[in-house]
Every structure is written in structure tokens, then in C-alpha cells.
Amino acid sequence: MSSLTDLLDIRTPVLLGPFGGLSSIPLVAAVSAAGGLGSYGLYGYDAERIRTTVAGIRAATRRPFGLNIWLPRGDEVEPSAEHDDYAAALAPFFAEVGAEVPARPEAYLPSVDEQLAAVLEAAPAVLSVVFGVPSASLVDEAHRRGIRVIGTATTVGEARALADGGVDAIVATGAEAAGHRVSFLRPAEDSVVGLFSLLPQVVDAVDVPVIAAGGISDRRGVAAAFALGAQGVQVGTAFLGTAESAATEAHRAAIRATPAEGSVLTRAMSGRLARGARNRVVAEIEAAGSIAPFPAQNWITGRFRTPAGQQNKGELQSLWLGQSAPLARYETAAAAFAELAAGVSA
């Protein structure tokens, strides 16, 4: 089995978590330039925006980087008459930011085929996927273009399915991790496994390099992950709190202030289970009990979350963060990377 650093052509096996909606070119470039793998989340991006983003990354760094795609699970809803009811239920939040309740769009998301075609054309060093197993044809075409493919697992069964699907490496993501639970074989609520239980079982079950994610914010977490068999780590919250990320100041403040028990798994903001701070908007949506399915809820709340971010109103944002947020106190990506790299050396 090839080492992860050789496989990805990086010096240090530290990967940036690809944030859906919160990725930034400066953060990707900083992590790649430091010797790790910067990764950019492309959730919601159409082909033209993907091309523009890749051009920006390549202008910022010559080092390898990765692009991340959400695979369709088959349960995604299309815009329908129910959209108006779901949007109207959230009217008070739109009023708070001075925005109109959004009318039903033609589509909530660009097609994944359009996204994948643009990614293959761009030929990044790595294509990472969540919410499923990439098709054999996609893996073959990626390999033909020199692209490594990384899958993401929340259970041992998912890891085996990804290995059987031909991926080059697997991210084993524990329940401590920030953002969406990317389960695909069983419901996310039935796939909540902590990293220290998940990681060694995945390492034992597959014959490709395993990357640990979830609850890793300093050198101690990195060293522990390697002791359990990981060949690399993927880190989100520790980098999300740095100056180079696209997080708002309110979001960074939440990362600094939220204790481990203060984060929750909720469907309130997107219609899919995700970990973040339990702020007012999460509490009120959960109490109301009217949550649209994915991706309708994500699209609708996004229409008030964006102006809330511009106005720095943290109580109306998706404040994604993991259970090790109290350890994520780095001002810059370079400082975060140096601390994590020290764990690799240890």
C-alpha cells in the first residue's frame, strides 16, 4: 500500500476539510503551500463557477489541491408547490435581515454531471466525494486524467463499499466532526460513531490509506489518529477559525466560545443532519417542527443566511463546528498547520 504522502504528492499528511459554502481560495492555497492538501468544497457550484474557482486556486498556489463534490443520494427533492409553505414558515428570519421570502426557483442545485465534468476538465490532484460511492466509470476517468479519488465513510460498511468501488483513500469521519454527517448506507442518525471507535475498525477493514477526521484540532489528536492506524488527518474546525477562511467573525467567535457539549446534530438548517452550534435559529426551527427536505431547506435558509453573514448576525447563520472547537484557537492557517504537523512528527 502506497503511503498517503506519495499518493497525493504532499510533504505532510494534513488535509484541509472541504467546506460546503465556507471554502476560500486563500485557505486552500495556505494549506497546500505549507505542504498539506488544500481542499475546496464545490457544493452548489455550477460549471462556470468551478472553472473560475480552479483558476483562482492555481493562481494562488502551484502545489496539489483537491476539489470536493456531493454525490446525489436519490432522495433530493425538486422545487414544488410545497416550497412556498416551507419558505413562509421562515418569514420572520427573512424580515430580520431585510430580505424577501424567496419564490420557488427552477432548481435548487446544479446537476452533479455538470459539476463532475468541470472537475474532470480541471484535473485537480484529488477529487473527494461525500454521500456515496463514485461510479466505476468516474473512478476510471479520474485515474485516466491523473486524479486521485478519495471517498468518505461514517461506518465500517461504508468504508468497505468505497474500497470495493476503487477509491484511492478513505476519510473515516467520526461523529465529533463539524458539518454534515455524510452517511449513505443507513440513515445518518443510525451511523453516529465516534472517531476512536471508527478509525481502527476502518483501518482493519480496508487496504487503502485511511485519513482520520473529526475532533482533531491539535498535535495530540493527530498523534492519536496515527497511533490508531491513520496515514493522515483531515481537519476542518481548526482551519475554519483562521483569518484565511470564509467564516464570518460571528462564526469564528462561535468556534472560540462553544464547548464540546454545546454543539448539536440538527436538520434545521439544511434538511440533512449536521453538527454546529445551537444558536437561536436552530432552536426556533426545531421548535416549530417545519423542516423542508434536502436540498429545499438548505436553499431556503441560505437566502437569509447570506445576508445574516454580511450583517454579522451569528444567531441567524449556520455555525458549523466540531466538538473540539475549544481547541481551535489559531489566528492563521500557518499556525494551525504548524501545530498539526507537529503531531505527525511526534
What is the per-residue pLDDT across 136-195, written as a single tens digit (0 to 9) for each?
999 999 999 999 999 999 999 999 999 999 999 999 999 999 999 999 999 999 999 999
pLDDT, tens only, 312-340: 999 999 999 999 999 999 999 999 999 99
* pLDDT the model gives residue 20: 85
Place of cell 496539489: 64
CB 93 within 8 A of CB 281: yes
Whether the per-residue pLDDT at 42 is higher than 80: the answer is yes
Q: Which residues contact 41 (CB under 8 A, 6 or more apart)?
A: 18, 19, 20, 21, 22, 23, 68
* pLDDT the model gives residue 206: 98
* pLDDT the model gives residue 76: 96
Architecture label for domain 4-345 = Alpha-Beta Barrel (3.20)
| Residue 173 to residue 155: CA distance in whole angstroms | 8
pLDDT (average), residues 113-129: 98
| Residue 8 to residue 66: CA distance in whole angstroms | 10
Q: What percent of the chain has pLDDT over 90?
A: 98
In the chain, the amino acid numbered 189 is E
* pLDDT the model gives residue 2: 67
Compute the C-alpha angle 50/52/58, nearest 5°: 100
* pLDDT the model gives residue 167: 98
pLDDT, tens only, 218-254: 999 999 999 999 999 999 999 999 999 999 999 999 9
Single pTM value for the model: 0.96
Can you point out the beta strands (E) in 223-319? 232-235, 263-266, 274-277
pLDDT, averaged across the chain: 97
Burial letters for 20-56: b for 16+ Cβ neighbours within 10 Å, e otherwise?
Answer: bbbbbbbbbbbbbbbebbbbbbbbbbebeebeebbee
Whether the per-residue pLDDT at 60 is higher than 70: the answer is yes
CB 254 within 8 A of CB 247: no
| Residue 86 to residue 301: CA distance in whole angstroms | 10
Place of cell 445518518: 188
Quickly list H helices, 9-68.
25-33, 47-60
Q: What percent of the chain has pLDDT over 70?
A: 99
CA-to-CA separations, 328 to 173, 233, 236, in angstroms, rounded? 18, 15, 10
